[in-house]
Structure 1
Amino acid sequence: AQGREWNHDASLDWHLLEGGDNWHHGVQRLVRDLNLTYRHHKAMHELDFDPYGFECEGGSLITRMTNDTSQ
């Protein structure tokens, strides 16, 4: 996490990833792994732009239901 609030007039704090293994590298690996999982499992993205691919259920709870073409 950055130590300062985001500023649209300045660049991101990429320097936080420099150096040895630290907390920032763990977050970087987590995001990498989540992206790989998303890409690997077709059902998570296959119908993102198809009305059939998304359903909204429940009044006070946000739920994401994904469908794929194998159903």
Structure 2
Amino acid sequence: MSSNLKKLKSNFSDKKLFDLALTHKSASKKNNERLEFLGDAIINFYVTQKLYENYADFSGRKVNTIKG
């Protein structure tokens, strides 16, 4: 998952926590439901950032529609 850090161009101090946050609960014996919120927020931020960069001429409402 560390390739995701490079894509985000971010420096997380705890890479294991980052990986756990983006790991589906069925892939790990550890229950990471608490971190699901964090993983969702990171993905949401990344998608929002890319839409903002790639659709600069679109209104906020239109970009939000694309995001779904």
Structure with greater strand share of residues:
1
The two structures have a TM-score, normalised by structure 2, of 0.35
Structure with greater helix share of residues:
2
The two structures have a TM-score, normalised by structure 1, of 0.34
Give the number of the structure whose alpha-carbon radius of gyration is greater: 1
